[in-house]
Homo-oligomer: A and B are copies of this chain.
Amino acid sequence: MKLYNYFRSSASFRVRIALALKGLQYDYVPVHLAKGEQKQPEFAALTPEGLVPMLETGDGLRLTQSMAIIEYLDETHPTPPLLPADAPGRARVRALSQIVACEIHPLNNLRVLKYLVHDLKADDGAKTDWYRHWVAVGLQAYEARMAEGTRGIYSHGDAPTLADCCLVPQIFNAQRFDSDLTPYPLTMAVFQACMQLPAFQQAQPSACPDAEP
């Protein structure tokens, strides 16, 4: 398998964690988002969205959208599972993942921040306020979910799931923007627990071949 990705892309990071949790080997193909390499013809020919991550499987499938890729990996390589076996648990894990992937990350990724600055003439302060606002709205919801009865070491029980694959990159990202994370102690405890695991450590941006200081 080949993973087209970028060390700092939080959606790429999600897939790297899932691959590492499942012990799957892959070729790392860097696509430098900040330099716009995702818009180059070679990459666009592979995937019309021009987005990373894109996973090329051994049998030639080209998969896009991080949550869809991780569900595919979970279906084709079921051990260890990244979703619970029960439908309510699966719904909870998917909803947690989507708090990050549908409520926080889409508002705060590179192309959106660029639009704010270039098209809406937002200054640095306004851009940072925007970033932190959506992190806070999303993490408040995540924290409320962590306070529910279903607590465990990780976001859902005592094994990492799709939700943790989504949460951890978002926390890395929020830390880069100096978001205040003290209101989310339960969420941060999950983050710390994840970062004790080799899979999360190996997948983190600083461990990537294309990492920059």
> CB-defined interface of A65-91 with B at 8 Å, one 1/0 digit per residue?
101110110011000000000011011
| B72 lies within 8 A of A90 (CB) | yes
Cα–Cα, bound, A129→B129 (Å): 21
A28 at interface, CB cutoff 8 A = no
| A115 lies within 8 A of B99 (CB) | no
Task: Find the B residue at minimum CB distance from A64.
Answer: B95
Q: Which of B94, B116, B119, B141 contacts A48 (CB 8 A)?
A: B141
| A61 lies within 8 A of B133 (CB) | no
Please give the distance in Å from A211's CB to the nearest CB on chain B. Answer: 25
Which of A19-27, A102-110, A152-160, A191-199 participates in binding chain B? A102-110
Cα–Cα, bound, A145→B130 (Å): 32
Cα–Cα, bound, A75→B92 (Å): 13
A98 at interface, CB cutoff 8 A = yes
| B72 lies within 8 A of A87 (CB) | yes
Cα–Cα, bound, A208→B22 (Å): 45
| A107 lies within 8 A of B102 (CB) | no
Please give the distance in Å from A51's CB to the nearest CB on chain B. Answer: 8
Please give the distance in Å from A83's CB to the nearest CB on chain B. Answer: 10
| B48 lies within 8 A of A144 (CB) | yes
Cα–Cα, bound, A91→B75 (Å): 10
Interface residues of A in 33-51 (CB under 8 A from B): 48-51
Task: Find the B residue at minimum CB distance from A137.
Answer: B111
| A101 lies within 8 A of B102 (CB) | yes
Interface residues of A in 90-149 (CB under 8 A from B): 90-92, 94-95, 97-99, 101-103, 105-107, 112, 115-116, 119-120, 122, 126, 129-130, 133, 140-141, 144-145
Task: Find the B residue at minimum CB distance from A108.
Answer: B106
3 A-B pairs with the lowest CB-CB distances in the bound complex, closest first: A48-B144, A68-B94, A106-B106
